[in-house]
Amino acid sequence: MKQTQLAPGVRLTVLPAEKFCKSRITLDFIYPASRKTATADALLALVLERGYAACPDMTQLSKKLAGLYGASLSVDTAVNGEMRVLRVTVTGLQDAFALHGEALGAACVDIALGTAFTPVMENGVISPQFVAIEKQQLRQQLEGERNDKRMYCLRQARRRFFGTSRAGIEAYGYLEEVDGLCAEDVTQAFSAMLREAQIDVYLQGVDEHMAAEKLCAALGGVQRAPRPLLPACAMPHVGEQRFSEPVDAVQGKLCLLFTAGTPLPAAQLSAMRVAVALLGGTTTSRLFVNVREKQSLCYYCAASYSAMTGLLCIDSGVEHENAAKAKAAILCELEALRTGEIGEEELAAAKRYLRTQLNAVADSQGGAEAWQRMARLRGDGKTPQQVLDEVMAVTQADVHGVLAELTLSVSYVLTKGGAADGE
């Protein structure tokens, strides 16, 4: 891996690609999330994917990508911690595999930079036609939120957990704001992103000197005032807030959200990885074995942790009549893991699982890139091997330590009648 600072707030990372036939270029625009512009930021990502100045409609763009041996373009947006990330990715075939010596890497870089820096403009604003079309898509996406009951329950719980804090800003915006957006709003969001974002560029199988020259040229006319990355955050301790919502579905949903009150120090993140694997990260975890298999209280039961928000999440699919019992069983398993004995083989099994995960990071281009992205956001810069070394050194006491300060902040249940038994 090689990293170069091309300009203030612009960093180029070259990742190994010898084991792949594909090339990949990704531009991450990272900037503080804003409630005021959240919906326009979400709409911007959809609009950028429709075409750019040199390829101004989706038909032309599709033909261009197909002519590059089936290259692909994606534009995504997400909120991670208190930062929004807009991501432009182009994958294609490496030059060495071109049948006729075509400069495929340069063509892919041109598409990525065109998409990111030169959207289709009309009279000084991003195409009103593109904006109108994608407003419909965004509206449909937001209106369909309830169709995936698991994700809906998670999002509802998160809304209560984060409240009005920056970390709770919706990645895809707010339905009630979609109709009121216009091309000027999206153009302003685009201009602010170019001006304020940290720009991280990831290259795999693409000539770095060529890409750097093209990137610097694209940035030449941009007025830049990049804002620093915001650190990890955590919600404060509060008493448990209980919510229930009626749902017309065969299966109920349960989501429990916990906070430690302060961000977890980087030195303890590996212990939390082990704790999550022990609790609900594998098919040998306590939630899976004890709550799902032995007690038959849920269809699935999983645990996850976000280093950028200090959020421990446990979510489960349950029989409606078992929601309260499942919650009690989950809390019992967490408490047992927090204070009780952890068997040597149990701990070893969790570490083996994590070793497999960490060793697999470099097996896909997306995985290697995602690792670097998260290391960047966390600010620790650790390699998978460094994290693996830390994981293998985690003790029972370390697991107890990272779980000790966790408190239940939000419980959210989707169930018939709108209330879990005993709630």
Q: What is the pLDDT of residues 70-109, one digit of tens each?
A: 999 999 999 999 999 999 999 999 999 999 999 999 999 9
pLDDT of residue 226: 98
Tell me what the mean pLDDT of segment 193-209 comes to: 98
Residue 60: CB partners within 8 Å, gap ≥ 6? Answer: 51
What Å distances lie between residue 308 and 80, 90, 381, CA to CA?
7, 27, 14
Q: What is the pLDDT of residues 226-268, one digit of tens each?
A: 999 999 999 999 999 999 999 989 999 999 999 999 999 999 9
Residue 154: CB partners within 8 Å, gap ≥ 6? Answer: 255, 313, 315
pLDDT of residue 422: 41
Tell me what the mean pLDDT of segment 302-317 comes to: 97
Please state, rounded to an integer, the average pLDDT across all residues of the chain.
Answer: 96
pLDDT of residue 36: 98
- Using pLDDT thresholds of 50, 70 and 90, give the confidence band for residue 423: very low
Q: What percent of the chain has pLDDT over 70?
A: 98
Residue 149 burial (10 A CB sphere; 0-12, 13-18, 19+): middle
What Å distances lie between residue 102 and 69, 105, 198, 411, CA to CA?
10, 9, 32, 56
- What is the longest distance spanned by two Cα atoms in the chain? 70
pLDDT of residue 289: 96
Q: Say how many C-beta atoms besides its own lie within 10 A of residue 299's C-beta.
A: 14
Q: What is the pLDDT of residues 21-40, one digit of tens each?
A: 999 999 999 999 999 999 99
pLDDT at 126 over 90: yes
Domain boundaries of the chain, sorted by first residue: 2-219, 241-418
- Using pLDDT thresholds of 50, 70 and 90, give the confidence band for residue 421: very low
Strands 300-306 and 241-246: unpaired
Residue type for position 288: F
Residue 326: CB partners within 8 Å, gap ≥ 6? Answer: 254, 291, 297, 298, 301, 316, 318
Strands 198-204 and 10-15: parallel
Name the DSSP letter for residue 362: G
Q: What is the pLDDT of residues 360-416, one digit of tens each?
A: 999 999 999 999 999 999 999 899 999 999 999 999 999 999 999 999 999 999 998
Among 94, 85, 97, residue whose Cα is nearest residue 26: 85
Distance CA 138, CA 270 (A): 37
Q: How many helices (H) does the chain have, and how many strands (E)?
A: 15, 13
Tell if the pTM clears 0.85, that is, is over it: yes
- Using pLDDT thresholds of 50, 70 and 90, give the confidence band for residue 419: low
Q: Which CATH number fits domain 241-418: 3.10.580.10, 3.90.470.20, 3.30.465.10, 3.30.830.10?
A: 3.30.830.10
Distance CA 373, CA 31 (A): 14
Angle between helices 396-403 and 323-339 (to 10 degrees): 130
Among 199, 231, 192, residue whose Cα is nearest residue 40: 192
pLDDT at 62 over 60: yes
Q: Where are the beta strands (DSSP E) in 94-136?
A: 121-122, 125-126
Q: What is the CATH number of domain 2-219?
A: 3.30.830.10
Distance CA 254, CA 256 (A): 7
Residue 272: CB partners within 8 Å, gap ≥ 6? Answer: 264, 305, 307, 402
pLDDT of residue 93: 98
Q: What is the pLDDT of residues 4-22, one digit of tens each?
A: 999 999 999 999 999 999 9
Q: Judge if 2-219 and 241-418 fold alike in CATH terms.
A: yes
What Å distances lie between residue 334 and 111, 261, 342, CA to CA?
49, 17, 12
Task: Check the CA dihedral 156-158-164-169 and report its sign.
Answer: negative
Q: What is the pLDDT of residues 318-357, one digit of tens each?
A: 999 999 999 999 999 999 999 999 999 999 999 999 999 9
Token pair of 321, please?
């009549």
